[in-house]
């Protein structure tokens, strides 16, 4: 890419310098020629006014050629290049080496002291350099005085070639400098690209820690930021994947070990094969089954494959149903459940089974963290856009540092207590995924007077199920 950039730079430099040289050469030649002509004009003011007077008197140029060769005209500041002519031999202009030409209003030559080209038209350069002769406001002819200057045709060629040479040298120097600059700039320009290539190669080899240093605010800096963002996301996903694998292995180990110990004891005859001795094995099997079910639900939600069987549902009724299911368990622990419905809710299209799963998780957590005499309070309310359920307990609440993480998979604020009580650390992660699959939200907070509050919000009119 650097080579290509340098080539592009070179091409641009060559084209611009080349065109500059061509234009400069052309306009220099033109200017030199015009200057030559103009040079001859200095000192012919007297002849100009004589010619103009002549035309005014005669209303024509007939016989005017005699004026060009009359002595007394054309002298002035200029020095003739043919300094050997003497006054009196010819008109002063011609005597000083000047060639005088008179043209009519259309530019056709009518008199020439060199005796050539009469009747031929002046070319555009000559016309541009000629002194217009006026009768009143009207241009009636042109006077060209040339050759009296320090320039002749050879001088012109010499001067133009010298100027061209100088232009070529200037062009060569600027090409060399431009190429050096092109090399430098392409090197600088490609530095971030090299850094990106290096970091991307590192990433491709599996090292996700590679980042690029981002400087400035241009397109390459934006690309660098996007790359860093992508690398961070990949790293986070990879860390989560590794943590999840480790967590799953960890969660499987305990129930499997318990089952194995019991089975070995039964096999060795340490325990008699009775229903009582089979119960712990069955319990651990249930733990494993639940874990596998939870993991499957999460995997489906992650892949956007979670199938919801949505139908119009009376949300308060559904909550009542779940509360009834948990009441015996709550009563057994001396905990009461209070349900209040703030205002009537319109039916909402949800998958009742999945919503029950969310409510079941929130209620069982609420009961788990409540003590004898505590109350778990559920409040249902609705707005024109959403229905809301809050589940508040009067337990210890969630440690502040754990609040941002309790929806993470396998996260438990109090590991030992949660596991003993059968928690896998997946309940809230699943509940939030299910809420999101319904287009809703699930958030947690601590109640100012103690206890945790979970708020589930579900939209009443969900346009499209988000792809998680």
Residues that bind ligand ADP (CB under 6 A): 361, 365-366, 369, 393, 395, 397-398, 406, 411-414, 418, 423-429, 452
Q: CB nearer to ligand ADP: give 78 or 409.
A: 409
Pick the closer one to ligand ADP by CB: 108 or 368.
368
Smallest distance from ligand ADP to CB 346, Å: 29
Please name which of 249, 271, 307 lies closest in space to residue 438, comparing C-alpha atoms: 307
Q: What are phi and psi of 381, to 5 degrees?
A: -140, 170
Q: Which is nearer to ligand ADP, 152 or 356 (CB)?
A: 356
Indicate the residue among 74 and 423 with the shorter CB distance to ligand ADP. Answer: 423
Whichever of 98 and 418 has its CB closer to ligand ADP, that residue is 418
Q: On the CB side of 53, how many CA atoms lie within 13 Å of its CA?
A: 7
Q: Residue 28 in contact with residue 164, Cβ under 8 Å? A: yes
Q: Which is nearer to ligand ADP, 285 or 357 (CB)?
A: 357
Q: Given phi > 0 = left and psi -120 to 50 = alpha, else beta, which region is 73?
A: beta
Residue 445 CB, shortest distance to ligand ADP, in Å, is: 11
In whole angstroms, the minimum distance from the beta carbon of 444 to ligand ADP comes to: 7
Residues 6 or more apart from 293 whose CB is under 8 A from it? none
**Using CB atoms, what's the residue nearest to ligand ADP?**
423
Give every CB contact of residue 136 below 8 A, 6+ residues apart in sequence: none
Is there a contact between 368 and 344 (Cβ–Cβ < 8 Å)? no
Is 314 within 8 Å of 345 (Cβ atoms)? Answer: yes
Beta-bridge partner residues of 143: 102, 131
Tokens 């002769």 -> residue: 133
Residue 382: strand, helix, or coil: strand
Helix ranges (H only) for 369-449 are: 415-420, 427-437
**Nearer to ligand ADP by C-beta: 104 or 393?**
393
End-to-end CA distance of the chain: 41
Q: Name the residue nearer to ligand ADP (CB basis): 174 or 327.
A: 327
Q: Is the Cβ of residue 206 or residue 448 nearer to ligand ADP in the bound state?
A: 448
Query: Coil, helix or strand for 418?
Result: helix
Could you tell me the CA-to-CA distances from 446 to 156, 330, 400, 451 in Å, in that order?
96, 21, 8, 6
Q: How far apart are CA 160 and CA 24, in angstroms?
A: 10
d(CA 138, CA 134): 5
Closest distance between ligand ADP and the C-beta of residue 459, in Å? Answer: 24
CB of 393 vs ligand ADP, minimal distance in Å: 5
Calpha distance 78→118 (Å, rounded)? 26
Q: What minimum distance in Å lies between the beta carbon of 418 and ligand ADP?
A: 4
**Least Å from the CB of residue 264 to ligand ADP:** 29
Q: How far is the CB of 449 from ligand ADP (least distance, A)?
A: 14
**CA trace torsion 325, 326, 327, 331 (10° rounding):** 140
Q: What three-state secondary structure class fits 186?
A: helix
Report, in Å, the least distance between residue 453 CB and ligand ADP.
Answer: 9
Most distant CA atoms of the chain, gap in Å: 155
Nearer to ligand ADP, 70 or 364 (CB): 364
């Amino acid at each position: 890419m650097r080579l290509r950039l340098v080539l592009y730079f070179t091409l641009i430099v060559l084209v611009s310098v080349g065109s500059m040289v061509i234009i400069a050469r052309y306009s220099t030649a033109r200017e030199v020629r015009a200057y030559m002509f103009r040079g001859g004009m200095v000192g012919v003011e007297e002849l100009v006014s004589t010619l103009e007077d002549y035309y005014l008197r005669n209303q024509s140029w007939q016989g005017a050629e005699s004026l060009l060769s009359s002595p007394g005209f054309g002298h002035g500041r200029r020095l003739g290049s043919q300094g050997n002519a003497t006054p009196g031999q010819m008109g002063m202009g011609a005597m000083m080496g000047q060639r005088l030409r008179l043209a009519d209003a259309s530019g056709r030559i009518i008199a020439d002291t060199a005796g050539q080209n009469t009747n031929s038209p002046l070319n555009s350069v000559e016309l541009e350099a000629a002194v217009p002769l006026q009768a009143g406001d009207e241009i009636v002819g042109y006077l060209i005085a040339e050759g009296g200057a320090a320039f002749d045709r050879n001088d012109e060629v010499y001067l133009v070639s010298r100027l061209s040479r100088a232009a070529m040298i200037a062009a060569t120097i600027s090409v060399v400098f431009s190429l050096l600059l092109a090399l430098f700039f392409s090197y600088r320009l490609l530095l971030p690209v090299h850094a990106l290539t290096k970091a991307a190669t590192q990433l491709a080899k599996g090292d996700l820690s590679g980042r690029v240093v981002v400087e400035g605010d241009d397109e390459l800096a934006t690309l660098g930021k996007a790359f860093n963002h992508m690398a961070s996301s990949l790293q986070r996903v990879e860390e989560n994947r590794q943590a999840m694998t480790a967590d799953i292995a960890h969660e499987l180990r305990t129930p499997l070990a318990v089952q194995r110990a019991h089975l070995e004891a039964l096999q060795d005859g340490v325990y008699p094969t009775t229903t009582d001795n089979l119960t712990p094995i069955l319990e651990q099997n249930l733990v494993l089954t639940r874990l596998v079910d939870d993991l499957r639900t999460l995997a489906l939600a992650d892949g956007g494959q979670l199938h919801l069987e949505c139908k119009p549902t009376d949300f308060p009724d559904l909550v009542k149903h779940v509360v009834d299911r948990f009441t015996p368990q709550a009563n057994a622990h001396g905990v009461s459940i209070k349900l209040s419905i703030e205002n009537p809710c319109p039916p909402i299209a949800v998958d009742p089974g999945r919503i029950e799963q969310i409510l079941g998780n929130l209620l069982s957590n609420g009961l788990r963290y409540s003590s004898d005499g505590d109350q778990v309070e559920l409040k249902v309310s609705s707005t024109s856009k959403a229905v809301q359920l809050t589940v508040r307990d009067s337990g210890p609440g969630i440690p502040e540092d754990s609040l941002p993480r309790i929806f993470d998979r396998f996260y438990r604020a109090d590991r030992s207590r949660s596991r003993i009580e059968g928690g896998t650390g997946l309940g809230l992660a699943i509940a939030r995924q299910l809420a999101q699959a319904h287009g809703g939200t699930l958030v947690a907070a601590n109640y100012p007077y103690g206890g945790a509050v979970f708020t589930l919000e579900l939209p009443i009119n969900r346009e499209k199920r988000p792809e998680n």
